[in-house]
Structure 1
Amino acid sequence: MNATTTHQHSNCLRCGRALRSPKSVATGYGPTCTRKVKAAAKAEVVSQYKAHLVAKAEELIEQGGIIALRGHRVFQVVASNGIDTYKAAPQGCTCAAGLKGKHVCYHRIAAHILSLAA
């Protein structure tokens, strides 16, 4: 017989303050610390890629050219021509650059950023 247990936290794992909301208790971080952790994770992702690709990925996100399909794991992305669409995830993309696998495309970077923000 297997018993599944979930560990709930009464204090924030980052700053140690008491957690009150059910979401915070479940995640282990308060809302302010959650924002700080996500910002740090985004900064880490941004440092991994070329600046011009990160700028294109952020522009894609700002213009709403990327939509979550399955949770925040797979995304549908509009191509730069505005007509074609691709499926992108932090691990890969169906665009020409993504299929060749030599370079990371900006669709994949946008998917990576949004998956961290989930």
Structure 2
Amino acid sequence: MSAKTSTTTHRCAKCGRVLRNPSPDGYGPKCRAKVRRATRSPELATYKPHLVEAAIELLEQGGLIPLRKSSKNRVYLAASSDGSKTYKTARAACTCPAGLKAIHVCKHRIAAHAFDLAS
């Protein structure tokens, strides 16, 4: 009797490269460093601090996945706080309830901004 091994290929959520050691956030080591550097950018200081913290948490949990990789209008799939829903988001707009009201910039848009800064 032989044991079956699964050969699942894990790819970086940011650049798409094959990961030798999969991580919970879905990023490779170089992309993770770029995203963490981007979260400390002074450009993000214009947003509310608690929303920036929520956006950083979203990025650390791998809750933001690029859908379209065009140079200008990047679109992402963002997970809700409880993980039951997903929203389409970009730096300009988001389909979450807070994004549709557009009173304040939501955490998904801030995470998309940080992800774009890491490029």
Provide TM-score, normalisation by structure 2: 0.62
Question: Relative to 1, partners in 2 of residues 1:40 and 1:88: Cα closer, same or farther, differing over 3 Å?
Answer: closer
Segments of structure 1 that go 5 or more residues without pairing to the other structure are 1-34
* 1:77 correspondence with 2:78: yes
User: How many residue pairs were aligned?
Assistant: 83
Question: Relative to 1, partners in 2 of residues 1:66 and 1:90: Cα closer, same or farther, differing over 3 Å?
Answer: same
Moved over 2 A (4+): 39-42
Return the match for 2:60 from 47, 59, 62: 62
Is the Cα contact below 8 Å between 2:38 and 2:118 reproduced in 1? no
1:1-118 matches, cutoff 5 A: 39=37, 43-71=41-69, 73-118=74-119
Q: Deviations over 1:31-70 (max 9, x none)?
A: xxxx99xx57952322110111000000000000110011
Distance, in Å, in 2 between the alignment partners of 1:40 and 1:82 is 24
Is the Cα contact below 8 Å between 2:63 and 2:79 reproduced in 1? yes
Distance, in Å, in 2 between the alignment partners of 1:41 and 1:84 is 24
Q: Percent identity?
A: 52
Larger Rg, first or second structure (1 or 2): 1
Segments of structure 2 that go 5 or more residues without pairing to the other structure are 1-32
Higher helix share: 1
Distance, in Å, in 1 between the alignment partners of 2:65 and 2:43 is 19
Distance, in Å, in 2 between the alignment partners of 1:40 and 1:62 is 12
RMSD over equivalenced CA pairs, Å: 2.4
Is the Cα contact below 8 Å between 1:92 and 1:98 reproduced in 2? yes
